[in-house]
């Protein structure tokens, strides 16, 4: 019965009712977007800035991460979702160690959240939970992730069920209960990834 209810909840979320989309186009270039906070899980530093980008899916601006830290994150304040969806368009630009872009949800603080990411160096999609500042793998799947190209990453979450899409295709569909309850949503990178983001969406 629990799995049936989760499936029905997922079906309802596909419609994206109550959806909000952030394009960063009204934010000042060179600064963090309004109503967002940023940090890094682990060591290193982050640098999240709004920048003009003619290639953006919705011009003129994108959100860019160009710092170098273990796991830089940037989350939207004033948002608290237990069940819903989060999605973003991202473009992995450079990185020797990683070229990753991801989304976070049920974010409680910089040391506790879920994250799904795609990596152009590894050509895969992966799902993790972070607790106590430590990232733990839940599942990975091979997927084509071209560098210097825009991709669409989407996650739907209801109860224990988590479904991850990349460019319209489902790659991960699992159940996990490590992080429960409502939390914020946002975007994420890893190591020396320089990544841009646009059309960040969420809803429940």
> Which three-class secondary structure state does DSSP give residue 85?
strand
CB atoms within 10 A of CB 125: 26
Give the helix/strand (H/E) hosting 87: strand 84-94
In this predicted structure, the answer to whether residue 11 has a pLDDT above a threshold of 90 is no
Q: What whole-number distance in Å separates Cα of residue 93 and Cα of residue 22?
A: 21
The region, left, alpha or beta by phi > 0 then psi within -120 to 50, assigned to residue 71 is beta
The kind and range of the H/E element at 11 are helix 2-14
Whole-structure pTM over 0.75, yes or no? yes
Query: Secondary structure of 95-157 in the HEC alphabet?
Result: CCCCCEEEEEEEEEECCEEEEEEEECCCCEEEEEEEECCEEEEEEEEECCCCCCCCEEEEEEE
The pLDDT tens digits of the residues spanning 135-160 come to: 999 999 999 999 999 999 999 999 99
Q: Is the peptide bond before 181 cis (omega within 30 degrees of 0)?
A: no
Residue 97 tokens, joined = 């160690």
Average of per-residue pLDDT across 151-176 = 98
Kindly state the average pLDDT of the residues 113-141: 98
Question: What domains appear along the chain, each with residue ranges and CATH number?
Answer: 2-203 (2.60.120.560)
Q: What is the pLDDT of residues 73-95, one digit of tens each?
A: 999 999 999 999 999 999 999 99
Rounded CA-CA distance 85/106 in Å is 11
């Amino acid at each position: 019965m629990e799995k049936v209810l989760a499936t029905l909840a997922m079906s309802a979320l596909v419609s994206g009712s109550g959806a909000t989309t952030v394009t960063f186009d009204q934010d000042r270039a060179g600064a963090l977007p309004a109503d967002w906070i940023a940090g890094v899980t682990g060591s290193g530093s982050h640098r999240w800035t709004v920048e003009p980008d003619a290639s953006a899916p919705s011009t003129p601006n994108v959100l860019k991460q160009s710092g170098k830290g273990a796991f830089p994150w940037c989350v939207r304040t004033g948002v608290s979702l237990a069940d819903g969806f989060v999605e973003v368009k991202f473009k992995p630009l450079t990185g020797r160690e990683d070229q990753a872009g991801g989304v976070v949800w049920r974010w409680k603080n910089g040391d506790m959240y879920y994250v799904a990411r795609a990596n152009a160096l590894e050509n895969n999609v992966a799902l993790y939970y972070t607790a106590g500042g430590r990232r733990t793998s839940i599942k990975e799947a091979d997927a084509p992730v071209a560098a210097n190209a825009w991709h669409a990453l989407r996650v739907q979450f209801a109860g224990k069920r988590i479904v991850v899409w990349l460019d319209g295709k489902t790659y991960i569909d699992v159940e996990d209960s490590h992080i429960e309850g409502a939390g914020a949503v946002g975007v994420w990178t890893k190591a020396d990834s320089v990544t841009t983001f646009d059309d960040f969406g969420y809803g429940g």
